[in-house]
Amino acid sequence: MPYLFTSESVSEGHPDKIADQISDALIDHFLAFDPNSKVACETLVTTGQVILAGEVKSDTYLDVQQIARQVINRIGYTKGEYMFDGNSCGVLSAIHEQSPDINQGVDKGNPEEQGAGDQGMMFGYATKETDNYMPLALDLSHMILKELAALRRENQEIKYLRPDSKAQVTIEYSDDNVPQRIDAIVISTQHDDFADEPTMLAKIKEDMINILIPRVKAQLKQDNQALFTDKITYHINPTGKFVIGGPHGDTGLTGRKIIVDTYGGKGAHGGGAFSGKDPSKVDRSAAYATRHIAKNMVAAGVADEMLVQVSYAIGVAKPMGIYVNTYGTSKVNLSDGQIAKKVEDIFDMRPYAIEQRLKLRNPIYEETAAYGHMGRKNEVITKTFKTPDGKDLGFEVELFTWEKLDYVDTIKKEFGL
């Protein structure tokens, strides 16, 4: 019998995502000036206020207030009427030095034996459902909000948009797990005040359906465009007026959107957030590494869908174990346990090896902190950071290295494909 599956996304202006982006901007600045920095930084945003807290071990000094303000202004909170703007909000820093009790388990004489920054389990997932090997409902939710943000910045076709928004997509699947159609789309977007509320609601719904959705469809391949039928149920700002939003409407915290950040509820999640953590924290680095494994394995043809789990003990380099689930879609004559053993032989999952393989000690993290950490475009860009004495320092960095299909040939050889 056909079934429905739903995923959601939130925009860069959502309070939790503001917090994530500030935390990751701090990570980037620490790594830009001291690649060996150890950082765990949490951010809280509320009406007119930003609070930074966490632990840092670094040889550099940062103007954390200025970094936070730059992020807030870039997102679009630049007006006093939002009750939260980058130029006037208060920024309180409660960042202090990392515990030496934790550090002694991570830093070792031999870098290759660097221990995991914490215990825990991390998951990576991939599916042939989309070209970027991501679940379709989440991919569409991200696309809707990225396009909505583009419309807001263009300020031409739609002039009333404010930064905070959410989207949700429900897809009908057949018994054999193939998307059939989009059943429902939910979009809630913050907006300027209107004099007439019924007119406002009608205008926003018309613009979302007739301007935003066609721009999203235009980016899709023909088979996915066909999922947009005239039977879609649209819920546009279903509660009505949405003028009060952002941190004035809801307090935001780092790490509260971990399902948005990963696979939209498909696969699994180990529970650890990513943003604000340097790559010695396996919550982040091993989640990227398992995504890299799952994507390359599916792309190589080992299975149509794959979940990979890895687990660690704090201070110990070698993982506790690697688990693989192909959901019955395996294309090789091996059990999932045998596949996992081959994964262990191909990929070195010690924390230092992951950092080196995926180039994680570079300032690459602010770009991950909105619209998902997975399924993004691998590219090389130049980023510029201001040194504490006001000079510009440029870096050429490679983003989303865990999305590269650079192990496909190795996997095919190992599995005889």
Residue range 193-235, pLDDT digits in tens:
987 878 889 999 999 999 999 999 999 999 999 999 999 999 9
Both structure tokens of 300: 């190589």
d(CA 223, CA 335): 33
Confidence grade of residue 288 (pLDDT, cut at 50, 70, 90): very high
pLDDT at 275 over 80: yes
User: What pLDDT is attached to residue 109?
Assistant: 60
Query: Is the CB of residue 287 less than 8 Å from the CB of residue 263?
Result: no
What is the helix (H) or strand (E) element at residue 148, kind and residue range?
Answer: helix 136-154
pLDDT tens digits for 42-60?
999 999 999 999 999 999 8
The answer as to CATH 3.30.300.10 being correct for domain 120-128+281-415 is yes
- The burial of 390, by beta-carbon neighbours within 10 Å (0-12 exposed, 13-18 middle, 19 or more buried), is given as exposed
pLDDT at 137 over 90: yes
User: What pLDDT is attached to residue 250?
Assistant: 96
What is the mean predicted confidence (pLDDT) over 89-94? 96
Is 190 annotated in some ligand binding site? no
Query: Is the CB of residue 22 less than 8 Å from the CB of residue 50?
Result: yes
Q: Do domains 3-9+135-244 and 120-128+281-415 have the same CATH topology?
A: yes
What does the DSSP assignment read for 45-65? Answer: EETTEEEEEEEEE-S----HH
Domain limits, the chain: 3-9+135-244, 120-128+281-415
The candidate with the shortest Cα–Cα distance to 374, out of 309, 255, 288, is: 288
Is 273 annotated in some ligand binding site? yes
What is the mean predicted confidence (pLDDT) over 150-173? 97
What is the mean predicted confidence (pLDDT) over 244-267? 96
Within 329-401, strands assigned E span 379-386, 392-399
Is 154 annotated in some ligand binding site? no
pLDDT tens digits for 347-394?
999 999 999 999 999 999 999 999 999 999 999 999 999 877 778 889
Is 250 annotated in some ligand binding site? yes
User: What pLDDT is attached to residue 280?
Assistant: 93
Q: What CATH number matches the domain at 3-9+135-244, 3.40.920.10, 3.20.20.70, 3.30.300.10, 3.30.70.20?
A: 3.30.300.10
What is the helix (H) or strand (E) element at residue 297, kind and residue range?
Answer: helix 282-300
Chain-centroid distance, C-alpha 22: 14
Is 257 annotated in some ligand binding site? yes
Confidence grade of residue 115 (pLDDT, cut at 50, 70, 90): confident
**pTM for the whole thing?**
0.95
Is 256 annotated in some ligand binding site? yes
Is 241 annotated in some ligand binding site? yes
Is 98 annotated in some ligand binding site? yes
User: What pLDDT is attached to residue 339?
Assistant: 98
34, 161, 266 from 112: Cα distances, Å:
19, 49, 33
User: What pLDDT is attached to residue 103?
Assistant: 53
Categorise residue 107: left if φ over 0, alpha if ψ from -120 to 50, beta otherwise. beta
Query: Is the CB of residue 134 less than 8 Å from the CB of residue 368?
Result: no
Query: Is the CB of residue 351 less than 8 Å from the CB of residue 115?
Result: yes
Count of residues making up the chain: 417
Is 9 annotated in some ligand binding site? no
Contacts of 398 (CB under 8 A, 6+ apart): 359, 362, 364, 378, 379, 380
Is 277 annotated in some ligand binding site? yes
